[in-house]
């Protein structure tokens, strides 16, 4: 592709790729130089040009010499649009999911439901790039726009026709998923998270709503979990834009959840849709997993899926790694679950999901991440303290903070909790002390394969540690 094909003009320089990291620039690259919270990409323009950048997308005031300056007041958005032109084509159908909790489960369930309907489907998010054949871990809910678009284009070349991806608040704010036509966008819920980045809940919600105000195609469909307190904001926005609307939940108009009955290994759902009543045995535990499944079904229906067939396929959904994943059975017979819950709302939902199944005590092991929203730590402690029977506070990913400081903040909300800093020791204590009628919940890290301490990522997997403790 020639540069003139991307930006107009007469420059016939060959474009070979896109990069936002100057160290990845090669001859023919279009470099994106953005001002961020920690780094100013404009400081690396000279290095990028020296490495062969043919164009630099940057703000009007940036100094660019030796390459074409693509000037824009919103260089992130312009860069993403140009990158999309370069990497296209993409899968025929793409949907995005935003919300504080449930994004990962919802995109993966959407992928599964599409696959059951006969489509070649994939998902992108916290679990990585997932297809029916393989999974490649990326380590980010929403990767940078170059990685995202190149991955999406690669999936299309492999024959993927349907894609579901997570749209995090960071990703939406930083234009990491621009340029890809989005046929349907889903909203799961809003709870406290990432206030270290957004500042307050208003700014956090605004970031989420951008999926519906700018990213969703004008003729696309908004899929909304109608039971959330902020659902009305999304519904009003969709109606104002003229988007089609699919609402799900006990207040849903498209898929109405009439009844939910917990069973030993799942739950029975009664759903009303198109004037008919459907009964489904969902093989997943917890109210929030039912919510995620219904939102996924809504996305499938919004993109042409058969209503009755999609609802029936809910009974065939498989668990999502790290999301109320039953990791082990203790020697006593107590089941041990691992969940990614790392916010007050998510922890409360995970506890509520497991509590009805505990004949004895519900034992919860959790911590909180360092260098992240410190205000949620005491609240998480309060949630565990009031709703679990036994609470063990341990380390999560302390990052550059002192672990004891994080634990102390949690313990202010859970004064009766037990403190075991070493996560492996804390998990072992919970598993080995659990009685036959008890249930153990290990929360916070879910699918993660490492523990971030300082600048190091130490190998650590809650599921593996739980199984070793139960052996």
Q: Under a CB-based contact definition with an 8 Å cutoff, are residues 325 and 463 in contact?
A: yes
Residue 151, annotated ligand binder? no
Of 386, 374, 392, nearest to 336 by C-alpha is 392
Residue 468: exposed, middle, or buried by beta-carbon count in 10 A (0-12, 13-18, 19+)? middle
Residue 375, annotated ligand binder? no
In SS3 terms, 394-439 reads as CCCCCECCCHHHHHHHHHHHCCCCEECCCHHHHHHHHHHHCCCCCE
Residue 135, annotated ligand binder? no
Helices (H) and strands (E) in the chain, counts: 16, 23
Q: Under a CB-based contact definition with an 8 Å cutoff, are residues 155 and 129 in contact?
A: yes
Residue 298, annotated ligand binder? no
Residue 102, annotated ligand binder? yes
Q: Report CA-CA distances (Å) from 396 to 212, 340, 399, 422.
A: 33, 11, 9, 9
Residue 85, annotated ligand binder? no
Strand segments, DSSP code E, in 10-137 are: 17-19, 29-32, 55-58, 68-71, 93-98, 121-125, 128-131, 135-136
Residue 398, annotated ligand binder? yes
Describe the strand order of the beta sheet including 255-262 as a list of residue ranges.
135-136, 128-131, 121-125, 162-166, 93-98, 182-187, 216-225, 244-249, 255-262, 267-273, 276-282
Residue 448, annotated ligand binder? yes
Dihedral sign from CA coordinates of 210, 213, 219, 223: positive
Residue 233, annotated ligand binder? no
Residue 171, annotated ligand binder? no
Of 456, 382, 377, nearest to 195 by C-alpha is 377
∠ CA 423-428-432 to the nearest 5 degrees? 155
Residue 74, annotated ligand binder? no
Q: How many CA atoms lie within 13 A of 238 on its CB side?
A: 22
Residue 455, annotated ligand binder? no
Residue 141, annotated ligand binder? yes
Q: Report CA-CA distances (Å) from 65 to 18, 20, 26, 53, 258.
A: 18, 17, 17, 11, 64
Residue 47, annotated ligand binder? no
Residue 103, annotated ligand binder? yes
Question: How many Å is the Cα radius of gyration of the chain?
Answer: 23
* Strand, helix or coil for residue 457: strand
Residue 115, annotated ligand binder? no
Residue 444, annotated ligand binder? yes
Residue where the block lists tokens 């819920």: 189
- The residues near 463 (Cβ < 8 Å, ≥ 6 apart) are 322, 325, 327, 328, 338
Q: Under a CB-based contact definition with an 8 Å cutoff, are residues 336 and 440 in contact?
A: yes
Binding residues: 99-105, 141-142, 168, 174, 176, 372, 396-399, 444, 448
Binding residues for ATP: 99-105
Binding residues for meso-2,6-diaminopimelate: 372, 396-399, 444, 448
């Amino acid at each position: 592709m020639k540069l003139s094909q991307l930006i107009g003009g007469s420059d016939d320089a060959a474009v070979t790729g896109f990069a936002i990291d100057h160290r990845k620039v090669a001859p023919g690259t279009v470099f994106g130089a953005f001002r961020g919270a920690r780094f100013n990409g404009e400081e690396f323009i000279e290095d990028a040009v020296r490495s062969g950048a043919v164009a630099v997308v940057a703000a009007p005031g940036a100094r660019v010499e030796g390459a074409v300056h693509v000037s824009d007041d919103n260089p992130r958005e312009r860069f993403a649009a140009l990158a999309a032109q370069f990497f296209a084509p993409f899968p025929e159908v793409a949907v995005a999911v935003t919300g504080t909790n449930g994004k990962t489960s919802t995109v993966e369930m959407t992928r599964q439901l599409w696959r059951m309907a006969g489509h070649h489907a994939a998902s992108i998010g916290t679990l990585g790039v997932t297809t029916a054949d393989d999974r490649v871990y990326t380590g980010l809910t929403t990767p940078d726009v170059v990685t995202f678009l190149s991955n999406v284009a690669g999936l299309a070349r492999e024959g993927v026709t349907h894609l579901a991806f997570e749209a995090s608040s960071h990703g939406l704010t930083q234009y990491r998923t621009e340029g890809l036509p989005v046929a349907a966008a889903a909203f799961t819920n809003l709870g406290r998270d990432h206030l270290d980045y957004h500042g307050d809940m208003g700014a956090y919600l605004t970031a989420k709503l951008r999926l519906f105000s700018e990213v969703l195609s004008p003729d696309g469909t908004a899929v909304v979990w109608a039971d959330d307190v902020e659902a009305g904001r999304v519904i009003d926005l969709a109606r104002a834009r003229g988007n089609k609307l699919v609402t799900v939940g006990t207040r849903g108009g498209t898929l109405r959840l009439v009844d939910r009955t917990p069973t030993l290994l799942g739950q029975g759902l009664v759903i009303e849709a198109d004037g008919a009543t459907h009964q489904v045995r969902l093989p997943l535990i917890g109210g929030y997993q039912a919510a995620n499944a219904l939102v996924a079904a809504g996305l499938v229906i919004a993109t042409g899926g058969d209503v009755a067939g999609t609802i029936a396929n809910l009974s065939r959904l498989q668990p999502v790694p790290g999301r109320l994943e039953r990791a082990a059975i203790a020697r006593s017979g107590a089941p041990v679950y691992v969940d990614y819950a790392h916010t007050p709302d998510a922890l409360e939902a995970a506890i509520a999901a497991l509590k009805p199944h505990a004949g004895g005590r519900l034992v919860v092991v959790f911590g909180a991440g360092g260098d992240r929203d410190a205000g949620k730590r005491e609240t998480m402690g309060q949630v565990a303290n009031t709703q679990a029977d036994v609470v063990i506070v341990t380390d999560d990913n302390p990052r550059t903070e002192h672990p004891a400081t994080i634990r102390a903040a949690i313990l202010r909300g859970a004064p009766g909790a037990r403190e075991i800093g070493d996560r492996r020791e804390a998990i072992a204590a919970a598993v080995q002390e659990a009685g036959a009628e008890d249930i153990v919940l290990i929360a916070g890290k879910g699918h993660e394969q490492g523990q971030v301490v300082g600048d190091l990522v130490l190998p650590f997997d809650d599921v593996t540690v739980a199984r070793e403790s139960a052996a």
